[in-house]
Copies of this chain bind each other. A is one copy, B any other.
Amino acid sequence: MLDERKAAILRAVVEEYIETADPVGSARVAQAAGVQVSSATVRNEMAVLEREGYLVQPHTSAGRVPTDKGYRFFVDTMAGPGHLQPAQRQQVTQFFAKAHGQLEQTLHDTSKLLSNLTDYAAVIVGPSHEVATVRSVQLVGLSARTALLVAVLSNAVVEKRTVDFTDDLDDGALATASADLARLLVGRTLAELPTLATDNLSPLAATALAGLAGARHEDEPDHVFVGGVARMAQAFDAVETVRDVLRTLEQQYLVVGLLRDLIDRGLSVAIGVEHGVQPLAECSVVVAPFGVDGEQLGSIGVLGPTRMHYPEALAAVAVVSQQLGRRLSES
Contact = CB atoms under 8 A, between A and B. Distances in A.
A330 to B, nearest CB: 8
Interface residues of A, number: 43
Contact of A228 (B142, B158, B250): B250
Nearest to A241: B233
Nearest to A247: B230
A122 B331 CA distance: 35
- Interface core residue of A138, A154, A160, A218 (most chain B CB under 10 Å): A160
Contacts of A243: 230-231, 233-234
A273 interface: no
A101 B218 CA distance: 10
A326 interface: no
A278 to B, nearest CB: 15
A161 interface: yes
Contacts of A162: 100-103, 156, 331
Nearest to A112: B250
A146 interface: yes
Interface in A135-156: 135-136, 138, 140-143, 146, 148, 150, 152, 154, 156
Contacts of A136: 138, 140
A230 B250 contact: yes
A156 B154 CA distance: 22
A125 interface: no
A305 to B, nearest CB: 14
A117 interface: no
A102 B161 contact: yes
Interface string A277-306: 000000000000000000000000000000
B150 A152 contact: yes
A272 interface: no
A126 interface: no
Contacts of A141: 135
A12 B75 CA distance: 58
12 contacts: A101-B215, A135-B142, A136-B140, A138-B138, A142-B152, A142-B156, A150-B158, A162-B331, A233-B233, A233-B242, A233-B246, A237-B239
- Sorted nearest first, the 3 A-B pairs with minimum C-beta distance are A230-B246, A233-B243, A230-B247
